[in-house]
Chain A
């Protein structure tokens, strides 16, 4: 069966520090992968998506970047965190044949 792993579950980082969040998928090949962010009390904002290895599309300008070094690995990074980067970060995957997304359990990031 397909599973999605996301870690860490919670993270507290100082302003100006780097960030690396990792997401891995098991049990499927060539999925579409997505990073979302949810600020406190807000809806989900699509940040990046990837349709294949090395292919990254950005939905909004921001202080973050994404990479997909392997088929089932998706990484969200920042060189220098801002206070506004705080939020709940969710990774998701989907297959091209349709059906729904499967979301990870999320990482709650607090920048202090």
Chain B
């Protein structure tokens, strides 16, 4: 079962920041938080991951709370092409490195 909880849908205006929340209250100390997105009919695309510190790359920023029980993915300037299903995943750190996907958040970016 997925270890994360996300709102089923969100929307934001084009050009504005999109803030996608995720709860992972049962996360273990060595488990990472990963974010992926899936645009319709395509394979999921890796966005970012982190352990305890905030992370930023060319796509997004990841803010993880101090107790690590929740996180927020931030798309600083959403575009129409960011419309997708966004998955927050806690990655198991055994040899399998499995990713168990939940239901995700369907983000709609409005013109």
Contact = CB atoms under 8 A, between A and B. Distances in A.
Interface stretch (A12-20, A65-73, A75-83, A101-109): A101-109
Interface stretch (B18-26, B63-71, B74-82, B101-109): B101-109
A65 B110 CA distance: 42
Interface in A37-58: 43-46, 49, 51, 57
A98 B31 CA distance: 11
A102 B97 contact: no
A105 B43 contact: yes
- In this complex, the interface size class of chain B, counting residues with CB under 8 Å from chain A, is 20 to 34
B96 A100 contact: no
Interface in A80-102: 88, 90, 92, 94, 96, 98-102
Nearest to B48: A100
Contacts of A88: 41
A46 B46 CA distance: 16
Nearest 6 pairs of A and B residues by beta carbon: A100-B46, A103-B43, A44-B101, A90-B43, A43-B101, A106-B43
